[in-house]
């Protein structure tokens, strides 16, 4: 079981660049412009996700987390938003919260294999495996 879990974790880490490739297209200027907008200005969902991917890719997990949470009630059904929140909360060592976001995704898409891998990582880090 330990060998399988280690293999799963290695696979999960090797797939991270695939999910952050979208972030390569957004530049720093766009990310800063979005961050500086007043809270009452609604950010387009796609731009929000691009910015969050960019922040995650740069290791700015707290910033990505704060950005995504700001409009979470409107975007709570979006799989990518929940995945980004799961990744960010995992890196911030908020494992219970990461588990929650990954489970939301799996309730909508039980075949999301990458999410299952990330959920296993979160359970392991949280001492539940």
Mean pLDDT of the chain, nearest integer: 81
pLDDT band, very low/low/confident/very high, at 2 (cuts 50, 70, 90) = low
Whether residue 48 contacts residue 70, with contact meaning beta carbons closer than 8 Å, is answered with: no
What pLDDT, on the 0 to 100 scale, is given for residue 93?
Answer: 97
Pick the CATH number of 2-125 from 1.25.40.10, 1.10.645.10, 3.90.550.10, 3.40.50.1820: 1.25.40.10
CA angle 36, 90, 116 (to 5 degrees): 120
Q: What confidence tier does 25 reach under pLDDT thresholds 50, 70, 90?
A: very low
CB 66 within 8 A of CB 89: no
pLDDT class for 128, splitting at 50, 70, 90? confident
pLDDT digits (tens, 9 = 90+) for 54-71: 999 999 999 999 999 998
pTM, two decimal places: 0.67
């Amino acid at each position: 079981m330990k060998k399988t879990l280690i293999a799963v974790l290695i696979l999960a880490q090797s797939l991270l660049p695939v999910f952050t490739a979208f972030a390569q297209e957004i530049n720093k200027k766009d990310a800063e412009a979005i961050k500086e907008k007043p809270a009452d200005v609604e950010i387009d969902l796609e731009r929000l996700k691009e910015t969050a991917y960019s922040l995650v890719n740069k290791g700015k997990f707290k910033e990505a987390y704060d950005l995504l949470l700001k409009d979470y009630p409107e975007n709570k059904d979006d799989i990518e938003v929940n995945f980004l929140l799961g990744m960010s909360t995992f890196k911030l060592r908020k494992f219970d919260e990461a588990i929650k976001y990954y489970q939301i995704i799996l309730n909508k898409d039980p075949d999301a294999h990458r999410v299952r891998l990330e959920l296993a990582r979160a359970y392991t880090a949280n001492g539940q495996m």
